[in-house]
Amino acid sequence: MKRETIVWTILFIAGGLFLSYRAAFSPHGMGKVYVKAEQVNPNSQTDLRTKYIGARPGEKGAVLSIPRSVGLWLAALFTLAIFSFLYRDNVFFKIAESVMVGVSAGWAMVTAGFWDTLVPKLLAKLAPDMTRAWALPKLEKTSHADPLYLVPLVLGIMLLWRLAPRGGWIARWPLAFIVGTFAGIKLTMYLDADFVSQIRSTIVPLVVVLQSGQLDVWASIRNVGLVFGVLSCLTYFFFSVEHRGIAGKIARIGIWYLMITFGASFAFTVMGRIALLASRITFLFDDWLWLMDPNHKRPWEPFFSG
């Protein structure tokens, strides 16, 4: 075996041993989720049905939830499966990846597609009485069927025509509707918010004079830098003029501005990725392994109290 393989194997075994030790020998175990029962309709005397909501261990009425505990372990193992890709591509990663593709697609269809849009926005408009009797008892009694909504329905069916063996071109109509609508909306919106408003925000006095009549040097330099920066970057993006002579020099300053902009973006992106990693590690250590408890979620003294 290569030295490196040995190192990694030792790491894995040590991790496994630690897990079993934590689960078996610590007084409160780990990775358990608690729930408590609550009346669905707290103000009703007749409707006595209850539902379970999340609870903290030790809270009054808290009981262990098997499905949620299983879920927590699954979540932790999926997280580790994804991280295992860093070592090398493997069967656990591929399974996790396949599950992710399937669940995310199904979930988006069910929520954004069906229950949040088609039912309340199309069905409730076309057949309000039926929708009320079926799924939306609180839908206003006064709403009438609105035949105008047959138009999006028909357009939608045309969109689905792509699945048919022939006549796929019919899907171009709804596509044209979407593209055209958004071309119109985006044209005005981008020119308003990104073109006009950005010019307006950049119009600042190049010399800032304080109330007392004194010159504010810092603010003046800032403003000059800002206005000059925007102008030089615009020069860089100007396609009609070669980057030579004066235009070339200004464009060069423009690209320096852009590089500093990208440097800032770079640092922020790095920052964001690290924040997400830290939150995943917190999830593993806090919610799953119960090694730490900064938010005092559990009544016991944690392993690491910081």
What is the token pair recorded at 215?
């010159």
The nearest distance, CB 20 to other proteins, in angstroms, is 20
- Using the minimum distance from each CB to other proteins, give the nearer residue, 17 or 215: 215
* Residues of span 5-34 touching other proteins by CB under 8 A: none
- Using the minimum distance from each CB to other proteins, give the nearer residue, 23 or 194: 194
Contact 292, 286 (CB under 8 A): yes
Phi, psi of 73 (to 5 degrees): -65, -40
Instruction: Quote the CA–CA distance of 293 and 29 in Å, as a whole number.
Output: 14
What is the token pair recorded at 58?
């030790």
Q: Which long-range contacts (CB under 8 A, 24 or more apart) does 271-280 make?
A: 280/79
Query: Considering the rule CB under 8 A, would residue 114 count as an interface residue with other proteins?
Result: yes
Binder of other proteins out of 57, 62, 149, 298 (CB under 8 A): 149
How many chain residues interact with other proteins (CB under 8 A)? 171
* Residues of span 253-292 touching other proteins by CB under 8 A: 254-283, 285, 291-292
- Using the minimum distance from each CB to other proteins, give the nearer residue, 17 or 189: 189
The nearest distance, CB 240 to other proteins, in angstroms, is 5
What is the token pair recorded at 2?
């290569």
Binder of other proteins out of 10, 164, 197, 300 (CB under 8 A): 197
Alpha helices in the chain (DSSP H): 3-25, 66-83, 91-108, 124-126, 128-134, 150-160, 172-190, 197-202, 217-237, 245-282
Binder of other proteins out of 10, 115, 129, 249 (CB under 8 A): 115
Instruction: Quote the CA–CA distance of 291 and 78 in Å, as a whole number.
Output: 19
The secondary structure of residue 215, as a DSSP letter, is: B
Which stretch, 15-23, 24-32, 162-170, contacts other proteins (CB under 8 A)? 162-170
Q: Identify the three-state secondary structure at position 304.
A: strand
* Residues of span 69-108 touching other proteins by CB under 8 A: 71-72, 74-76, 78-79, 82-83, 85-87, 89, 94-108
- Using the minimum distance from each CB to other proteins, give the nearer residue, 19 or 208: 208
Binder of other proteins out of 16, 29, 184, 299 (CB under 8 A): 184
* Residues of span 116-135 touching other proteins by CB under 8 A: 116-118, 120-122, 133-135
Contact 268, 249 (CB under 8 A): no
